[in-house]
Chain A
Amino acid sequence: EPEVTQTPSHQVTQMGQEVILRCVPISNHLYFYWYRQILGQKVEFLVSFYNNEISEKSEIFDDQFSVERPDGSNFTLKIRSTKLEDSAMYFCASKGSNSGNTIYFGEGSWLTVV
């Protein structure tokens, strides 16, 4: 079964450093998402991306965050200058035009900022 893949599975970075989290959505999917889950808390929406542009973003998704689809297969989340509070699990998700309202999540990338 096709799945969303994310790399790295775990990354430790120093505060102030830039981080890029990578995702390979399911082939032929057109809608892409990033969600965040701080340890012990609920999963929160960050951003949705469609037709090569951001379609919606949350308050969390401030200027230090950016997303990009650099080629036909990858979807990346960049955090420009990481803060301690950015430590969280980041989930990528994708949706196809034929999958109704069901989006498919990756296994997550655990980011630890020290």
Chain B
Amino acid sequence: AQSVTQLGSHVSVSEGALVLLRCNYSSSVPPYLFWYVQYPNQGLQLLLKYTSAATLVKGINGFEAEFKKSETSFHLTKPSAHMSDAAEYFCAVSDSGTYKYIFGTGTRLKVLA
């Protein structure tokens, strides 16, 4: 069965600092991996996705993630945090058969001025 683990339910960074949100997956088949962002009282917005092409994936708002098969990881990074990045971030995995997404428990990012 597929699963996703997000380490750190809350992460705080200073404005301008590096953002690193961790995601590890478990899958018996080549996974499809996604990062979504959710702002307060809003829906899920796709940040980026890995679909077995390039291992370094660039997304919207300056975010990127690197797929590392050896570490079963898909960590989300951004070089310089902005106040507007404060939100909840969810990692998700799916396989090519079911298209069903399994979400992680989420990481709430707080950006300090």
A interface residues (Cβ-Cβ under 8 A, vs B): 31, 33, 35, 41-45, 48, 55-56, 91, 95, 100-108, 110
Known: A95-B99, A106-B43; 20 extra A-B contacts, CB below 8 A, are A35-B101, A42-B104, A42-B106, A43-B90, A43-B92, A43-B101, A43-B103, A48-B99, A48-B100, A56-B100, A91-B43, A100-B32, A101-B49, A101-B95, A103-B94, A103-B99, A104-B46, A105-B36, A107-B42, A107-B43
**What is the distance, in angstroms, from B91's C-beta to the closest C-beta of chain A?**
10
* A91 to B99 CA separation, bound complex (whole angstroms): 16
- In the complex, number of A-B residue pairs with CB atoms less than 8 Å apart: 55
**What is the distance, in angstroms, from A103's C-beta to the closest C-beta of chain B?**
7
Chain B contact residue count (CB 8 A cutoff): 24
Contacts of B90 in A (CB 8 A): 42-43
B interface residues (Cβ-Cβ under 8 A, vs A): 32, 34, 36, 41-44, 46, 49, 51, 90, 92, 94-96, 98-106
CB nearest to A101 among chain B residues: B32
